Structure 1
Amino acid sequence: MTEGTTAPDLGTGRCQCGDITYEVQGVPDDPHLCSCEHCTLLSGSPAMAWVGFRRETLTWTGRRGEPTWYATWPTLRRGFCPRCGTHLVSVADGSNMVMVTTFSLTEQNRGLEPVGHSFRQHAVPWMAVTLAPDPLHS
């Protein structure tokens, strides 16, 4: 999170059609963009926006329960809505964090400006990104 912002204890999110909904608790961690091959192909855009939460705080609350899972790497699974295709989460084996797509969160004004850009060297040359100050190194 950026300096001077506070996050509510409970955050909610959903897919576009609303069949898959979730709740996350706690302070968001590591808001960042990613321009890896997987994120750009899955999103059809030059980067995806992610934010992390402790894995145990994620609860699937929608009528369909969990999303459909797809492995994009031997140790990485991504969750999608089987009805509308919205990409919601990414979970690495053995990680205590779950990465949530920032724009699937219901509240967009939570101080979630990206502080990093993974695979920046693979980003399209016309993409200019201004990152927020890293609160851990400010």
Structure 2
Amino acid sequence: MESERRTGHCQCGHIAYEVLGTPDDPHLCSCEHETRISGGPAVLWVGFRKDGLTWTGPGHEPTWFATYTTLKRGFCPRCGTHVISIAAGSDMIMVTGFSLTDQTGIEPVGHSFRETAAPWMTVTLAPDPRAPRPAAS
């Protein structure tokens, strides 16, 4: 069975990537850290296996910035788009959901730091595909 392939890029196209595999844990995050970096009320993250990531753009890899001792984030050095996050020791990477060229089937199943989200923000989450389903009657 062939692995699912998705592509993504920054606003100007200098940083581009391809990821293979099934998208994992699409979720919003509204922590103070994310809202300051993005300038928005939440960031949509989508996980993929690290070994399925290939940088394809003319800029090759993004500029890396360590935002925590165990976390680095990749930004385009030309347009500043936040594209990726990698935690130390993890075999997963998280790409920003809207850096993906096609967001088909990418619906957040969780919302981290919902209690600190903007009070006017209302989010309807998709059902978690990993959750047990009720038995048919």
Same fold by TM (over 0.5)?
yes
- Provide the C-alpha distance between the structure 1 equivalents of 2:55 and 2:31, rounded to a whole number of angstroms: 27
Q: Deviations over 1:42-69 (max 9, x none)?
A: 1100100010000111110111110001
* Alignment coverage as a number of residue pairs: 130
- Provide the C-alpha distance between the structure 2 equivalents of 1:34 and 1:59, rounded to a whole number of angstroms: 25
Q: Does 1:29 align with 2:24?
A: yes
Name the Cα RMSD after superposition: 0.9
Indicate the structure (1 or 2) with the bigger Cα radius of gyration. 2
Residue matched to 1:47 = 42
- Provide the C-alpha distance between the structure 2 equivalents of 1:80 and 1:43, rounded to a whole number of angstroms: 11
| Partner of residue 98 from structure 1, selected from 85, 93, 98 | 93
State the percentage of identical aligned residues.
68
Deviation at 1:91, TM superposition (A): 0.4
TM-score with structure 1 setting the length: 0.92
| Partner of residue 123 from structure 1, selected from 113, 117, 128 | 117
Q: What runs of 5+ residues in structure 1 fail to find an aligned partner?
A: 1-7
- Provide the C-alpha distance between the structure 2 equivalents of 1:94 and 1:57, rounded to a whole number of angstroms: 16
Residue matched to 1:9 = 4
Letter in 1 for 2:38: S
Report SS of the residue matched to 1:79.
strand
| Partner of residue 63 from structure 1, selected from 47, 50, 58 | 58
Letter in 1 for 2:127: P
